[in-house]
Structure 1
């Protein structure tokens, strides 16, 4: 048996030994005695955009075995099952999955918030097992520094994708971990060309992700005022990206959807984007990844979009049991299985982190250590309490569209950023009038 197999075997053996001795596993709540009579009941879990199929594959077997007295009813977000609709119908779930952009619309604004702090303390649950950035973000994003949820995989770290076949075709060395944006630019210049009537682009990008999940962790709307956050840094981000689209044969597409699809068509050499199990690249594209390039003046950390969180509704009649279910879903064993599938862990556990993608037929052939080459960057600072906010999707689309106009030569960067600020202020006023 290999090292990884031995480590997993020891982990399983330890879990069996602890349970057999009447103790509890690390990171799990106490008070789950085997002699306690457990009455059957139904627990509802609302999973947001996670499909029923994914939930079944990742969690159903474990939950059925561990909680035989609980019937788990999983609810996927959709027509008739949005959180506002469920609240209106009185069918409020016990467990609610939210992410930072939806913590208010799908949870707090519906007056469902429940602070997990008391359960964490009474159950002696160790929240330090999670990546600190993720814990800090959910506390900062809520109200009154409450702990409304625990981070569930995946999160979405940025990496640099590249097409190995194109680099082989043109005899250019592959990108490497630890490169700068200047390094990537020099490579892009070599890979931009037209041969046999086919145009090959040196660079493409998912502009929403690249600009939103930037290396400065820079917000779009200023956290403390109704204006664009730090225009000088946005000027640097725009200028860094624009030079790639100024290269011959590397014109930006008309919108972000089209631009982000270029790499998957096989005629673009590189693409910065998230590592995500939801990103589909056709098997005919022979891709790999390296670490995200670093930018002058920015921290040498991995820009990232944080995870979702599992919270409990304050209306639940089974809060303690709901917490036990959440703990089971976030256990070492479940996160190890997720990591092997290619789903980045939310745990500060290097052993689990190192096994990323090791059991997946595609990811196990890729340079997956690039995902964790740098530690996760700090989360983007949030708007101060009491200030009108603009939905994240609105902000990121405004930024992406503004950049596209710059890349198309329709306006210069400074003018575009001034116009972006005016659009943001207009959106703030709309929110104030609601």
Structure 2
């Protein structure tokens, strides 16, 4: 059905000629079955409707070669360098499939063709692409389009209608700030110990820590941990103090979910998908969740019809809360399938035809029926799944959080130890939770320890760190040497 419906709509340049063509598609990661998945999702139908085109998939980084590596001494591959090899070698790829951070780097280095001229020439309609996708694409390209993405994985704020009804509190609505959400959370939280119902959780899975909440909460603010040269810490600021103070107080007041109160499955106990999920188990009134949670909640409702142990409930979604300092920004979306044309593509016309095909309305119309954990990027075809009635627009109303600074990405590749500089902050945040430090004292301690760690990295960029900040240099023989 898919190929039959689309085939009749594909009057394109690639099909006008019967000349055999090879379209080489470069992917950021490959191996481990990902090539097969990509073909099933995107290229099989294109090859069927374009019999003269043969698609070759070439990964920049093959995950198979890292599967059996020593993870203690694992060195992350340089993604930009790997992509450049595919794009500028003797047999360059035509299409590049990348994620947000990689796309920004390729745009900055002028390695991609601008798509606007082709879009205008073919009168290709982009007005129907959801703002969180098209605005994010333009944002990375200085208001120009260098890629299109046929699908995306968005998130929203889920809420349990019953908890709000029982508390006599109005349900959440679109456009709330985090302060609005935290105030609602205080009003609906109730109970003690294992019977406690929390008001809000940043993460629906058991195991989230206070530092996880701090980092998630601060992400839209794009607060820096260190300067642009990774030589000096920048955490000892009023903004960071406010962030930590807010999260810690909510934790202490038991408004934010605490994993210590969850009923973890015992050894030899049959796994239940509800046990470690704070929202599905009814332990929290609100949670940030991706589109996949819709499918899971639908399945839970079906299971409840025949299994008395499963307690289904009414729910809905609203937009993710935002910060007043960043109005309208907070769209937590993941795009792993940005499709671009290599500036050195041997077959740019076929490359554009492929991208246009997969981002067009005919493909979106069919694909929208079969996505469980993603949405198609054309909003005309986004509908609630399984005949449900929920606020589906909440998933795509907000503008996305801007991508990580490309210079920071480069630093993380060149100096892998700076990840440890960030994560050592967890120790100091926990000391605030344990009443051992004030937020200000914790930030001062993090600043001091972080500066020491950055100096170690400056002396040797290969330096990495234990969770407590102890430096070591991963040797080639597999035995770590402490600094």
Q: What is the TM-score of this pair, normalised by structure 1? A: 0.67
Distance change (3 Å), C-alpha of 1:316 and 1:182: closer
Asked if 1:152 is matched to 2:156, the reply is no
Give the CA deviation at 1:39.
1.2
Any idea what the Cα deviations from partners look like across 1:113-151, whole Å, max 9, x if unmatched?
73213x7546746696565532244337xxxx997x514
Aligned to 1:28: none
Aligned 8 A contact 1:202 1:270 in 2: yes
In structure 1, distance between residues paired with 2:41 and 2:57: 13
Aligned 8 A contact 1:357 1:368 in 2: yes
In structure 2, distance between residues paired with 1:310 and 1:235: 40
Aligned to 2:382: 356
Give the SS at the match of 2:63: coil
Give the CA deviation at 1:355.
4.2
Distance change (3 Å), C-alpha of 1:377 and 1:120: closer
Aligned to 1:162: 159
Report matched runs for 1:88-107 at 5 Å. Answer: 94-103=94-103
Correspondent of 1:272 among 283, 288, 295: 288
Give the CA deviation at 1:184.
2.3
Report matched runs for 1:20-419 at 5 Å. Answer: 32=13, 35-41=16-22, 43-46=24-27, 48=29, 51=34, 54-74=37-57, 78-80=63-65, 94-103=94-103, 114-117=111-114, 121=117, 124=121, 129=127, 131=131, 133-139=135-141, 149-168=146-165, 172-194=169-191, 198-206=195-203, 208=212, 211-212=215-216, 214=218, 216-221=220-225, 224=228, 226=230, 227-228=233-234, 231-248=237-254, 250=256, 252-253=258-259, 261-273=277-289, 275-277=290-292, 281=296, 283-284=299-300, 286=313, 287-305=315-333, 307-308=335-336, 309-312=338-341, 317-338=346-367, 341=371, 343-344=374-375, 346=377, 352-353=378-379, 355-358=381-384, 360-361=385-386, 364-373=388-397, 375-377=398-400, 379-380=402-403, 382=405, 388-389=411-412, 403=429, 406-419=432-445
Give the CA deviation at 1:166.
3.6
Aligned 8 A contact 1:94 1:318 in 2: yes
Distance change (3 Å), C-alpha of 1:212 and 1:68: farther
Q: What is the TM-score of this pair, normalised by structure 2? A: 0.62
Any idea what the Cα deviations from partners look like across 1:270-325, whole Å, max 9, x if unmatched?
1134x344887454354421122343444144343463422345675434423322
Any idea what the Cα deviations from partners look like across 1:354-386, whole Å, max 9, x if unmatched?
54243x328x4432122244x315515625599
In structure 2, distance between residues paired with 1:154 and 1:429: 42
Distance change (3 Å), C-alpha of 1:71 and 1:291: same
Give the SS at the match of 1:236: helix
Give the CA deviation at 1:187.
2.7
Give the SS at the match of 1:79: helix
Q: Cα RMSD between the aligned structures?
A: 4.9
Aligned 8 A contact 1:344 1:356 in 2: yes
Aligned 8 A contact 1:157 1:305 in 2: yes
Aligned to 1:29: none
Aligned 8 A contact 2:136 2:399 in 1: no
In structure 2, distance between residues paired with 1:34 and 1:249: 59
Distance change (3 Å), C-alpha of 1:127 and 1:334: same
Distance change (3 Å), C-alpha of 1:408 and 1:70: farther
Structure 1 stretches of 5 or more lacking a match? 1-11, 25-31, 347-351
Structure 2 stretches of 5 or more lacking a match? 67-76, 204-210, 265-275, 301-311, 463-483
Give the SS at the match of 1:203: strand
In structure 2, distance between residues paired with 1:297 and 1:80: 44
Report how many residues are paired. 389
Aligned 8 A contact 1:251 1:408 in 2: no
In structure 2, distance between residues paired with 1:428 and 1:71: 52
Give the CA deviation at 1:54.
5.0
In structure 2, distance between residues paired with 1:424 and 1:166: 42
Give the CA deviation at 1:51.
4.2
In structure 2, distance between residues paired with 1:94 and 1:423: 47
In structure 1, distance between residues paired with 2:91 and 2:428: 41
Any idea what the Cα deviations from partners look like across 1:186-207, whole Å, max 9, x if unmatched?
3322333337962322222137
Which one has a bigger Cα radius of gyration? 2
Distance change (3 Å), C-alpha of 1:420 and 1:154: farther
In structure 1, distance between residues paired with 2:324 and 2:343: 46
